[in-house]
Structure 1
Amino acid sequence: MSAGEPGRPLTAGEVAHSWAADVFAEEGLDDADRLRLAFGLLDLLVEYWVTCEIRFAHQGPDGPLPADVLWDGYRRRLEADGDAETLTYSLWVDWFEDRETAAGAFAGVLGDDIERLVAEPSEGPLRRARRVLDCSGPVPWPVKEAAYRAAARLPVLHAALFAGLRAGYHDLYGDLEPAAALALLDRLELPADTEHLAELRHVLAAGHRNHHRSPGAWDEAVRTRG
């Protein structure tokens, strides 16, 4: 119930803001169990704020949290059927856009096992790979390039890889190397009418790294295509 409005049930967001931080002060539990409890709260509430508190605890004075438990929690939920928007948004805006955490986060959710995933693909890990690639635009190019090349060997990942490349160009914090990204793009098996495919190829061929550094380049690509 809400203390301010007796009788009114708390929303999931209010519960998250009120209680998620307290999970990491729970006595009688070690850091791994507190983290597992936080993930359980995330499963119950499906609220982005829970992921924020997980990150705060990881980067706070009592952190870091156990990396194996942290990234296993993300991986298993990214592999599950159903909506994973809370997790992918968390990865994108909190872990991947932060240069101090991007490498560890990307390795933990995909980079460390992409070779095995491509060699022995199965439904859950492929679902995870698609979701991570789709939101990986801000990950520094040197961190993600090897995983991108591995993913390119598996056509079922090509659409998600294209989304990652496109975000690497358009996102404010996006990162790519134009020549390497173009070579990778040319390997993808995509429908010829894939939206923005021609424009992305055009700006990469012209050597542009990011839409925000060359704001007129994309419009020029659109005009050229037209």
Structure 2
Amino acid sequence: MKTQAGEAAGRWLADQGVRRVRDGWVSNEELDVLLTANQVAHSWAGDVFAEDLDAADQVRLAFGLLDLLDDYWVTCEIRFAHAGAEGPLPPDVLWDGYRQRLEADRDAAAVTYSLWVDWFEDHATSATAFAEVLGNDIDRVVAEPSEAMLRRAGRVLECSGPVRWTVKERTYRTAMGLPALHAAVFRGLLASFHDVYGDLEPTAALALLGRLILPTETQHLAALRHVLAAGHRNHCRSPGAWDDAVRFCS
């Protein structure tokens, strides 16, 4: 995606001898070999954190590569640098990078996947990550909603299944104050049940589900209500419960 950070990253790649061509990327070392964005990310994204720049500028450059390549592996290199010997990365720049891309009116699949499988599934980082990308802001989102902030909130809620219930419950409850976020809260609850590492408290989750304003034909609504009412916490912990609920509700 074209951003100022992405343009800066493109210039940096050019300095490394890598440039975009019509159908992909090429390196000066092998001009006849066409590279994918994923191959470029695997080969060069980690080098950003060896540049003679301060840590904040390294992070900004890495996020520029993410804008340019739109590849999940760039977020892996950011996470590796954060957990590495030179880490942690400056939190204001790190989390602002995530927030900006969650708010942007473009595809954010690489960013939300990174949050889901790397930051949210790891209980050592999930509370901080969730607070930084949404929890700390949810009151302002509800009180002063904008398209960008609603976009960020919706994306975070939908991938928040692995975050511990005690961490995310207040954010879910606050988000209930804005009907525009009800569908995202529902998808967050659904992921909290189905995700391998999903976490919820059935009684509290059922109470939230009952307050959501959703179309009656919303897919999986009745089945989710059924498994929560039966006290099930997670699909993997209750094999067969979901299939039973689907049959019961059909």
Offset at residue 13 of structure 1 (A): 1.2
Distance 2:150 2:31 in 1: 46
Counterpart amino acid of residue 45 in structure 2: A
- Is 1:195 aligned with 2:183? no
Offset at residue 2 of structure 1 (A): 4.9
Counterpart amino acid of residue 19 in structure 1: W
Counterpart amino acid of residue 23 in structure 1: V
Offset at residue 5 of structure 1 (A): 5.1
Counterpart amino acid of residue 70 in structure 2: V
- Is 1:142 aligned with 2:166? yes
Offset at residue 8 of structure 1 (A): 1.9
Offset at residue 71 of structure 1 (A): 0.7
Please point out which of 20, 42, 48 is paired with 1:23. Answer: 48
Q: Residue in 1 aligned with 2:241?
A: 217
Please point out which of 118, 133, 157 is paired with 1:133. Answer: 157
Offset at residue 15 of structure 1 (A): 1.2
Structure showing the higher strand proportion among its residues? 2
**SS of equivalent to 1:110:** helix
Distance 1:219 1:11 in 2: 40
Distance 1:202 1:4 in 2: 59
Counterpart amino acid of residue 68 in structure 1: D
**SS of equivalent to 1:58:** helix
Q: Residue in 2 aligned with 1:32?
A: 56
Please point out which of 113, 119, 144 is paired with 1:89. Answer: 113
Offset at residue 25 of structure 1 (A): 0.9
Offset at residue 4 of structure 1 (A): 8.1
- Is 1:14 aligned with 2:39? yes
Report the count of equivalent residues: 225
- Pair 1:4–1:216, CA change in 2 (3 A): farther
Find runs of 4+ consecutive structure 1 residues off by over 3 angstroms.
1-6
Offset at residue 9 of structure 1 (A): 3.2
Offset at residue 87 of structure 1 (A): 0.5
**SS of equivalent to 1:7:** strand
Counterpart amino acid of residue 35 in structure 1: V
**SS of equivalent to 1:149:** helix
Cα RMSD of the aligned pairs, angstroms, is 1.2
Offset at residue 6 of structure 1 (A): 4.3
Please point out which of 91, 96, 102 is paired with 1:78. Answer: 102
Distance 2:168 2:46 in 1: 31
Gaps (5+ residues) in structure 2?
Answer: 1-25
Please point out which of 188, 199, 216 is paired with 1:175. Answer: 199
Distance 1:181 1:117 in 2: 21
Gaps (5+ residues) in structure 1?
Answer: none
Task: Encode CA deviations 1:171-225: one digit per residue, 9 max, x unaligned.
Answer: 1000000001001111100011110000000100111000000011111111211
- Is 1:165 aligned with 2:186? no
Distance 2:106 2:94 in 1: 20
Distance 2:134 2:111 in 1: 14
Offset at residue 67 of structure 1 (A): 0.8
Offset at residue 10 of structure 1 (A): 2.4
Q: Residue in 2 aligned with 1:111?
A: 135
Distance 1:12 1:192 in 2: 42
Task: Encode CA deviations 1:55-74: one digit per residue, 9 max, x unaligned.
Answer: 00011111110111111101
Distance 1:5 1:32 in 2: 32
Task: Encode CA deviations 1:99-121: one digit per residue, 9 max, x unaligned.
Answer: 11111110110001101110110
Give the TM-score taking structure 1 as reference length.
0.97
